[in-house]
Structure 1
Amino acid sequence: MLTLLAFLVAIGLLVTFHELGHYWVAKLCGVKVLRFSIGFGSPLLRFRPRETEWVVCPIPLGGYVKMLDEREGLVDEADRPRAFNNQHVLKRMAIVSAGPLANLLLAALLYWAVIAQGVPQLHPLVGTVVEQTPAAAAGFKEGDRILSVAGRPVASWQEVRLGIVEAAMSSAVVRVEVQDASGARKRRDIDARRFGEKAEQALQQGDPGVSPARFLAQVGVLEEKGVAAKAGLKVGDKLQAVNGVMLRNWEEWVHVVRNSPGKELSVRVERAGKPLEIKLRPQAVAQDDEVVGRIGVGPSPDRAWSDQLAFTRHYDAVGAFAAAWSKTGETAWMSVKFLGNMLIGRASLNNLSGPLTIANVAGQTAREGLTPYLEFLALISVSIGVLNLLPIPVLDGGHLMYYVAELVRGKPVSERVQLLGQKIGFILLASLMAFAMLNDFSRLFGG
């Protein structure tokens, strides 16, 4: 129920703000607005305070502003100057672009609301390096402080991930400068190509196999009916050795278990200050086209490390607004680069998300609290703004493309060309939506 409510609030807010952008600028330009609709289908609610009818419809996947237009019906002589088609091309361009720009403005306001509270962040310190990943191959070590990504200085882990995503979109190798535990500056080159397509996709999402989190070699979570629980392991057990080989950290333990499906392991643990030997056999499970071992345990976080890692960045009102605009611009630019890389095959179409994934994430962020939910709304608002500015007929950007052509040619694009463009645009959007829905089903239902 919370997921559905969070999704409806998100779509309602984003669509309303988008359409209000069109509405406000149309009114400023003297255009008569006949209807302002949130949703599609037969109206559930309607009212007409003046000349515009305001309606709410049952299908909450969009909305529209219907303006007076001679191409869509007869117009009284007195109203002809207020018809959309009779406006100067620059006014029409302003009206069409106002919707996407309103979404970008909304994103900036949402980011400002988040940033003004003070932003919890993480120092750019490496806590964990996952074995057999691009980060491990690049030579990352626990305790490395990341100084820059692709030549751009970073001050938080959030900036690290953003930098990796942006760099991975334009280069196969991401250059990272670090300061190691001894204080020496070193360069780490992350190259995911030899690790396969999934590693490349993970890198494009900011995950090269390194994380700020650090875990103790100690059982923190235990599945009640898992292999580990049945063998006698308990929460709080400190893992010391497996098959006579000393364990230095939790990652080494995970590596042994994953690579031992169906094999008996002799595990030495410390419990209440006393050594104890436990034998267990990891269950063989299929994962990512391979068979790995699983025993049903999770680690204990290193609290001392977590305390050292976290800090809060505070801004004054002006600084928060500047940071919000910067964040909006960076997110929009990343969206544009991602779409461009998808067209040339550098970014996978598997990263596309549809309404099911959006609804799922809306529910998850709403459960986490107001701040994560506001950040989610800002991200989706940017995505809607950027998507609608694409030069695809049926989108706002497609109309802008026609109006630019009209400016250049000195006369409107023919209706036949516009109709053909509408058909092509509809097919493109329908195809993208179908692909996004397939991705949704695959993510949510394991297809």
Structure 2
Amino acid sequence: MTVLETLAGWAGSLGGYILPFLFVLVIVIFIHEFGHYIIGRWCGIRVQAFALGFGPELIGFTDSHGTRWKICAVPLGGYVKFFGDSGAASTPDGSALRAMTAEEKAVSFHYQPVWKRAAVVAAGPVANFILAIVVFAAMSYAYGRQIIAPRVDQVIESSAAAKAGMRNNDLVLSIDGQPIESFSDMQRVISTSPGKTLTLVVERAGKEVTLTATPELKVIDTPFGKQRLGMLGIQASRDPADLKFQTLGLGASLKSAVQETWFIVERTGAYVGGLFAGTESADQLSGPIRIAQVSGQVATAGIVALLNLAAILSVSIGLINLVPVPLLDGGHLLFYAFEAARGRPLSERTQEFGFRVGLALVLMLMLFTTFNDVVHLVSL
């Protein structure tokens, strides 16, 4: 391979993977940190720095409020540094706090009432959920949605559907009492219910028929690793009469967006619960390498698909930050809950120990997900 070919390969990787990855990451991180920033400002707290990334500053400026806005060298996160913080993790600087004047305490994060500090911390994950809802709603409002009727075109022989007595041309009306309006609605219920006996009401030759079916567990390879899904073994209708395009108003788009966001939250919670129960595999946990790879693949489908990925990742990052591990937002909220219950904050020593444990856990998770990413790339 010539030097020119090598450089061309690097350029292709930059444009195809790194740039879409940075596009997605910057949107999600900026919105998360802006949530902390804007609620902090509304609470009268002085903001010293708003950073995208960690490490040495590459470019930045200081606004009229004294906040340093900057882009740093390592684009794998971000932070808002409030007055009184000792670093990016919003840990208190004990000696500096004790030396503050009354005027400085009034604008210091750590001297605010516990409810204000909790509101500032919670605002980051909440902003992530709002971003996802806005993106999903905007796409639904702008493009509508294509709906395939939940009609069975073909039942695969010896499948769970065949064992349940499903037939070609059956129209699924409900599953476990939940109305089914589209084939995708049915897929979501089935895919999240492997091994669970479901009650299906179908329309057959103008009559309602009740069936019981147990989706079979299948392991499917995806860009994020292997996923364990429930499957009945049916194919969607290909009849043009069963395909329709639905336009959505603003209210319906927002409702659909909230439902989509909640579905991601629910599935993520079920996956985490499955990890502890031993029914899910940890190889689905992904780090920056695999997210960059998926971003590059999704970018080929256009900006709408890339924004959809950003919305999904935004929900995931919001949830991760709510995990009650010191160093993450959830860990801070846990400390504030103890403070509210005790009437005084935990000791500096206890908090410092908690942050050290939290840092160790976060670093271990990063190493594990990076290892997963490398194994995934090698297996391709």
Normalised by the shorter chain, which TM-score bucket? Answer: 0.7 to 0.9
Deviations 1:96-147 (A, max 9, x none): 0000000000000001111102012322233455556545554544433332
Superposition pairs for residues 337-348 of structure 1, below 5 Å?
A: 337-348=270-281
Superposition pairs for residues 142-157 of structure 1, below 5 Å?
A: 142-157=168-183
Superposition pairs for residues 203-282 of structure 1, below 5 Å?
A: 204-205=228-229, 207-212=231-236
Look up the equivalent residue of 1:14 and give its one-letter code. Answer: V
2:372 counterpart of 1:443: no
Report the counterpart of residue 74 of structure 1 in structure 2: 96
Q: Structure 2 unaligned runs (5+)?
A: 1-14, 86-91
Report the counterpart of residue 29 of structure 2 in structure 1: 15
Contact 1:332 1:382 in 2 (8 A): yes
Report the counterpart of residue 117 of structure 2 in structure 1: 92
Contact 2:52 2:70 in 1 (8 A): yes
Contact 1:164 1:203 in 2 (8 A): no
Give the 3-state SS of the residue equivalent to 1:393 in structure 2. Answer: coil
Superposition pairs for residues 331-342 of structure 1, below 5 Å?
A: 331-342=264-275
Distance 1:367 1:306 in 2: 29
Report the counterpart of residue 417 of structure 1 in structure 2: 350
Using the aligned pairs only, state the percent identity: 32
Aligned length: 350
Distance 1:404 1:143 in 2: 55
* Cα gap change, 1:428 to 1:182, in 2 (>3 Å): farther
Give the 3-state SS of the residue equivalent to 2:173 in structure 1. Answer: strand
Report the counterpart of residue 57 of structure 1 in structure 2: 72
Distance 1:309 1:437 in 2: 44
Q: 1:30 aligns with which of 9, 32, 44?
A: 44
Q: 2:126 aligns with which of 90, 101, 105?
A: 101
Give the 3-state SS of the residue equivalent to 2:307 in structure 1. Answer: helix
Question: Shift in Å at residue 314 of structure 1?
Answer: 1.7
Give the 3-state SS of the residue equivalent to 1:58 in structure 2. Answer: strand
* Cα gap change, 1:128 to 1:16, in 2 (>3 Å): farther
Contact 1:23 1:65 in 2 (8 A): yes
Contact 1:150 1:167 in 2 (8 A): no
2:152 counterpart of 1:126: yes
Q: Structure 1 unaligned runs (5+)?
A: 214-304
Question: Shift in Å at residue 156 of structure 1?
Answer: 1.4
Q: 2:188 aligns with which of 155, 162, 172?
A: 162
Distance 2:308 2:374 in 1: 24
Report the counterpart of residue 17 of structure 2 in structure 1: 3
2:284 counterpart of 1:351: yes
Distance 1:386 1:108 in 2: 14
Q: CA RMSD in A?
A: 2.7
Contact 1:149 1:174 in 2 (8 A): no
2:308 counterpart of 1:379: no
Deviations 1:238-285 (A, max 9, x none): xxxxxxxxxxxxxxxxxxxxxxxxxxxxxxxxxxxxxxxxxxxxxxxx
Give the 3-state SS of the residue equivalent to 1:430 in structure 2. Answer: helix
Distance 2:220 2:78 in 1: 37
Distance 1:180 1:438 in 2: 49
2:175 counterpart of 1:175: no
Question: Shift in Å at residue 180 of structure 1?
Answer: 6.2
Look up the equivalent residue of 2:345 and give its one-letter code. Answer: P
Distance 1:174 1:86 in 2: 54
Distance 1:45 1:424 in 2: 32
Superposition pairs for residues 299-338 of structure 1, below 5 Å?
A: 305=238, 307-338=240-271
Look up the equivalent residue of 1:387 and give its one-letter code. Answer: I
Distance 2:226 2:55 in 1: 40
Report the counterpart of residue 55 of structure 2 in structure 1: 41
Question: Shift in Å at residue 166 of structure 1?
Answer: 4.2
Question: Shift in Å at residue 203 of structure 1?
Answer: 7.9
Look up the equivalent residue of 1:361 and give its one-letter code. Answer: V
Distance 2:157 2:373 in 1: 30
Moved more, 35-44 or 177-186: 177-186
* Cα gap change, 1:54 to 1:207, in 2 (>3 Å): farther
Look up the equivalent residue of 1:92 and give its one-letter code. Answer: R
Distance 2:290 2:165 in 1: 35
Give the 3-state SS of the residue equivalent to 1:116 in structure 2. Answer: helix
* Cα gap change, 1:39 to 1:306, in 2 (>3 Å): farther
Contact 1:114 1:374 in 2 (8 A): no
TM-score, normalised via structure 1 length: 0.71
* Cα gap change, 1:53 to 1:385, in 2 (>3 Å): same
Look up the equivalent residue of 1:53 and give its one-letter code. Answer: R
Contact 1:165 1:203 in 2 (8 A): no
